[in-house]
């Protein structure tokens, strides 16, 4: 049985501790924005864009209002639209597919592997048609997908590779930061992400100047000169307060990610309960553990057991994309992506945030190891 009985609840994610640590810095940054009145775009967003591009080792970064908009704008910048198809993992947050659908194109869903839970590269080619224009690889849970495998397929068929890095700020593939492996990479800075704004925000990185300039136009009503509009664009600018808060947090991202890695290492080494299966970690992937997901035969039973011990895990995600009602018109059936479907029915997200104490981590591990599925 667990060696410790904590009185405080341990949630899947708790942002209070992080913000208490940096509250004064955040308030000082907000005061500068208020004094400058640069609430939409402006110098505080530009500062963050410069620093985030450096973090990702890319030439450019474009701040937008959220990660879903980032995916949408990237699709538009690639010229993808009605009649086109884009390969998308079945196991991902639905926004990956929204970015395709918003353009009028069709997402084509591919199953994940049974161990890494990332898109199965060996299943992609059978889904490619004359209408396929791009593949979106998702660095899911903060762990990079098999970049090289997808690059080879894209080169073979003349397709664009787009990174959905919404959950992977600071993750690396073979020692190189994600964000520059595809033509563009899309990030979410939703508050719950490893690098989260004080509000909604997102970003796009690229090494190619023409995409950078096009994105600047698309996010700003199709305009680069005020009141002159060269194309139909959108109001998807990042706010100044979001840019300022992200600049403060970016300084702490390496230490926060390192703490998550420490916690993940303990989970990986000390969770010995054979009723729990952990995500496989290839040698080339350096995850930043936005989420730490396990699977178990009886998810409802595990949730109930953990709640009884004051641990409140998360669920990411209960329905795979191809079986969402929104995509019922595409005709997918149960069994089309069996690994993604199994994961959706059996996954559990363990507590994972940098402010977890060693005592809390040990308690979670002890409770999990004592779990028995009747």
The arithmetic mean of pLDDT across residues 101-119, rounded, is 99
Q: Confirm if 153 and 147 have CB atoms less than 8 A apart.
A: no
Local confidence band at 5 (pLDDT 50, 70, 90 cut-offs) = low
All structural domains of the chain, each given as residue ranges with its CATH number in brackets, are 16-248 (3.40.640.10), 254-370 (3.90.1150.10)
Residue 185 is given by DSSP the state E
Chain centroid to Cα 312, Å, comes to 21
Could you tell me if 215 and 15 are in contact, meaning their C-beta atoms sit under 8 angstroms apart? no
- How far apart (Å, rounded) are the C-alpha atoms in residues 153 and 159? 8
**Distance of alpha carbon 216 from alpha carbon 218, whole angstroms:** 6
Residue 50 has pLDDT above 70, yes or no: yes
Integer Cα distance of 203 and 187 in angstroms: 5
Is 81's pLDDT higher than 80? yes
What is the C-alpha to C-alpha distance for residues 123 and 106, in angstroms, rounded to an integer? 18
For residue 343, pLDDT over 70 is answered with: yes
Reported as a single tens digit per residue, the pLDDT across 152-193 is 999 999 999 999 999 999 999 999 999 999 999 999 999 999
pLDDT of residue 4: 56
Cis previous bond, 317, omega within 30:
yes
Q: What is the pLDDT of residue 6?
A: 62
What confidence category does residue 373 fall into, taking pLDDT thresholds of 50, 70 and 90? Answer: confident
Residues, the chain? 374
Chain mean pLDDT for the chain = 98
262-278: average pLDDT? 98
Q: Cα–Cα distance between 165 and 172 in angstroms, integer? A: 11
> Helix 67-77 vs helix 209-218: angle between axes, to the nearest 10 degrees?
120
Q: Is 16 one of the annotated active-site residues of the chain?
A: no
Tokens of 274: 């054979």
* CB of 303 closer than 8 Å to CB of 345: no
Per-residue b or e along 25-63, where b marks 16 or more CB atoms closer than 10 Å to that residue's CB:
bbeebbeebeeeebeebbebbbebbebbbebbebebbbb
Look-up: residue for tokens 């990030």?
A: 187
Q: What is the pLDDT of residues 291-323, one digit of tens each?
A: 999 999 999 999 999 999 999 999 999 999 999
What does the pLDDT look like over 58-75, one tens digit per residue?
999 999 999 999 999 999
pLDDT reported for residue 2: 58
**Which of these ranges, 3-17, 25-39, 239-253, has the smallest mean pLDDT?**
3-17
Active-site option among 193, 213, 261, 304: 193
Q: What is the predicted pLDDT for the residue at 3?
A: 52
The token pair that represents 112 in the structure block:
């994940």
pLDDT of residue 198: 98
Q: Across residues 22-27, what is the average pLDDT?
A: 98
* Residue-level pLDDT at 276: 98
- Please name the residue ranges forming H helices in the chain: 16-21, 23-36, 43-56, 67-77, 95-101, 147-157, 209-218, 240-250, 253-270, 299-308, 338-346, 358-370
pLDDT at res. 374 = 54
- Please state, in angstroms and rounded to a whole number, the distance separating the CA atoms of residues 215 and 222: 9
* Beta bridge mates, 162: 136, 184
| Greatest pairwise CA separation for the chain in angstroms | 68
- Which pLDDT score is estimated for 8? 85
Question: Which tokens is 286 given?
Answer: 């350096």
Name the CA radius of gyration of the chain, rounded.
Answer: 21
Q: Which residue pairs from 31-34 have beta carbons closer than 8 angstroms and sit at least 24 positions apart in sequence? A: 32/244, 33/240, 33/241, 33/244
Q: What secondary structure letter does DSSP report for 357?
A: -
């Amino acid at each position: 049985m667990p060696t410790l009985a904590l009185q405080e609840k341990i949630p899947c994610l708790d942002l209070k501790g992080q913000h208490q640590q940096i509250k004064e810095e955040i308030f000082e940054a907000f005061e500068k924005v208020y004094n400058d009145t640069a609430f939409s775009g402006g110098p505080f967003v530009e500062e963050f864009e410069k620093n985030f591009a450096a973090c990702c080792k890319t030439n450019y970064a474009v701040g937008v209002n959220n990660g879903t908009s980032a995916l949408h704008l990237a699709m538009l910048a690639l010229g993808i639209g009605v009649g086109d198809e884009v390969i998308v993992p079945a196991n991902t947050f639905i926004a990956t597919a929204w970015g395709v659908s918003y353009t009028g194109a069709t997402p084509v869903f591919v199953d994940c592997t049974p161990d890494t839970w990332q898109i199965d590269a060996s299943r992609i080619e059978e889904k490619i048609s004359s209408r396929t224009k791009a593949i979106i690889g998702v660095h899911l849970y903060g762990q990079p997908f098999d970049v090289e495998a997808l690059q080879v397929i894209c080169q073979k068929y003349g397709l664009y590779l787009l990174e959905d890095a919404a959950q992977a700020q600071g993750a690396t593939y073979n020692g190189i930061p994600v964000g520059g492996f595809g033509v563009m990479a899309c990030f979410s800075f939703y508050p719950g992400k490893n690098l989260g704004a004080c509000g909604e925000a997102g970003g796009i990185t690229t090494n190619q100047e023409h995409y950078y300039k096009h994105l600047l136009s698309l996010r700003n009503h199709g305009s680069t000169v005020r009141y002159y509009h060269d194309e139909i664009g959108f109001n998807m600018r990042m706010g100044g307060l979001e840019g300022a808060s992200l600049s403060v947090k970016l300084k702490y991202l390496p230490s926060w990610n390192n703490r998550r890695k420490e916690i993940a290492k303990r989970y990986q080494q000390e969770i010995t309960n054979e009723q729990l299966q952990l995500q496989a970690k290839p040698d080339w992937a350096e995850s930043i553990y936005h989420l730490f997901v396990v699977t178990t035969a009886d998810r409802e039973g595990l949730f109930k057991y953990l709640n009884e011990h004051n641990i409140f895990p998360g669920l990411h995600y209960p329905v795979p994309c191809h079986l969402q009602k929104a995509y019922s018109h595409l005709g997918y059936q149960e069994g089309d992506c069996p690994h993604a479907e199994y994961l959706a029915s059996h996954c559990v997200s363990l507590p994972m945030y940098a402010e977890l104490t060693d005592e809390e981590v040990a308690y979670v591990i002890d409770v999990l190891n004592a779990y028995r599925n009747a």
